[in-house]
């Protein structure tokens, strides 16, 4: 495999960053995953961390060097991540179970498969045009589908962030799965939280990412979303990958997995409590305790 990949997450104007993002790859498979947590205090942050960490670690264990069935893998790990969040809430005696959106994309054999719950989005761009976009699991999207709102009204609707499917919470997630999509040279796959796509003009994300130079276009989009978000700027997270033909000449910053051992993997994921906080309200001991509790919840479903 050959690809260029870049991810970035910013706190915006919030006290903490409840977004989580990671990618992991072996010689023959690539995983990208993003979660946007919801919940008081640090619990949304923990729900997102459990989801991303569980899915990435499951990939590391099973992709040797690829998973046996991409759709079954995505179905199982998202379901188990959901139950790990419930188990965490049970152990903590939480009456309000933390929740998180999730988007996970698995690429192997040159084919992309993805699954999502909530309103974080995946975009696939080919030759400057939007090929696929996930459908938000939100009340506003349902109203759009029913013709009760137009796009302009949806952009400012007070309930635009109310979602009906997520990991965690009091109801089983309604996870939506894609069909497998064969990738072509130059295709871009991007995943982002609503803090990125929400403030942007329609088409802005697709237009900016179309050239495939994700190392430059991701920070540029983040800057634009942050400026448009203003004083209400949400957490913002974006990961984008450009797919390259194996026979194409070397490009700067391109990852080639050709020489990786079959049992090796590389992962980029920030640990819980390591990101910047505008108002640090957790001590090191509290962070370490939260990390232990996260790992315990994940371990039960391994």
Percent of the chain's residues with pLDDT above 90: 75
Rounded Cα gap, residues 100 and 121, in angstroms: 13
pLDDT band at 39 (very low <50, low <70, confident <90, very high): confident
Rounded Cα gap, residues 148 and 105, in angstroms: 31
Residue 269's nearest CA partner among 245, 242, 294 is 294
Q: Measure the CA angle with vertex 244, ends 194 and 51; round to 5°.
A: 35
Rounded Cα gap, residues 240 and 7, in angstroms: 6
Domains and CATH numbers, the chain: 2-121+137-180+242-299 (3.60.40.10)
| pLDDT computed for residue 141 by the predictor | 76
Residue 181's nearest CA partner among 112, 104, 116, 106 is 112
| DSSP states of 245-277 | -TTSPP-TT-EE-TTS-TT--EEEEPPTT-S--
113-146, pLDDT tens digit by residue?
999 999 999 999 999 999 999 999 988 777 877 7
- On average, the pLDDT of the chain sits at 91
| pLDDT computed for residue 278 by the predictor | 44
* pTM of the full structure: 0.94
184-224, pLDDT tens digit by residue?
999 999 999 999 999 998 899 999 999 999 999 999 999 99
Determine if residue 300 is left, alpha or beta; phi over 0 gives left, psi from -120 to 50 gives alpha, anything else beta. Answer: alpha
């Amino acid at each position: 495999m050959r690809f260029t990949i870049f991810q970035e997450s910013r706190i915006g104007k919030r006290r903490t960053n409840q977004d989580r993002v990671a990618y992991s790859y072996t010689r023959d498979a690539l995983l990208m995953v993003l979660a946007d947590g919801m919940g008081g205090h640090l619990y949304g942050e923990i729900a997102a961390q459990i989801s991303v960490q569980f899915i990435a670690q499951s990939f590391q264990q099973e992709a040797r060097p690829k998973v046996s069935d991409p759709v079954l893998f995505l179905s199982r790990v998202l379901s188990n991540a959901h139950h790990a969040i419930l188990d965490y809430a049970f152990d903590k005696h939480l009456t309000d179970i933390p929740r998180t959106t999730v988007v996970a994309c698995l690429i192997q054999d040159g084919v992309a498969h993805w699954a999502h719950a909530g309103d974080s989005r995946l975009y696939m761009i080919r030759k400057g045009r939007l090929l696929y976009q996930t459908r938000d699991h939100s009340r506003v999207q349902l109203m759009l589908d029913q013709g009760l709102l137009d796009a302009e009204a949806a952009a400012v609707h007070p309930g635009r962030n109310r979602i009906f499917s997520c990991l965690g919470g009091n109801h089983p997630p309604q996870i939506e799965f894609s069909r497998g999509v064969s990738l072509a040279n130059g295709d871009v796959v991007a995943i982002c939280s609503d803090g990125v796509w929400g403030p942007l003009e329609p088409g802005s994300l697709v237009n900016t990412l179309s050239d495939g130079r994700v190392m430059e276009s991701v920070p540029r989009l983040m800057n634009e979303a942050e400026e448009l978000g203003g004083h209400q700027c949400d957490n913002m997270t974006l990961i984008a990958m450009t797919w390259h033909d194996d026979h194409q000449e070397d490009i700067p910053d391109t990852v080639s997995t050709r020489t990786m051992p079959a049992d090796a993997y590389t992962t980029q994921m920030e640990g819980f409590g390591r990101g910047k906080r505008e108002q640090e309200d957790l001590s090191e001991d509290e962070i370490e305790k939260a990390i232990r509790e996260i790992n315990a919840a994940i371990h039960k479903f391994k």
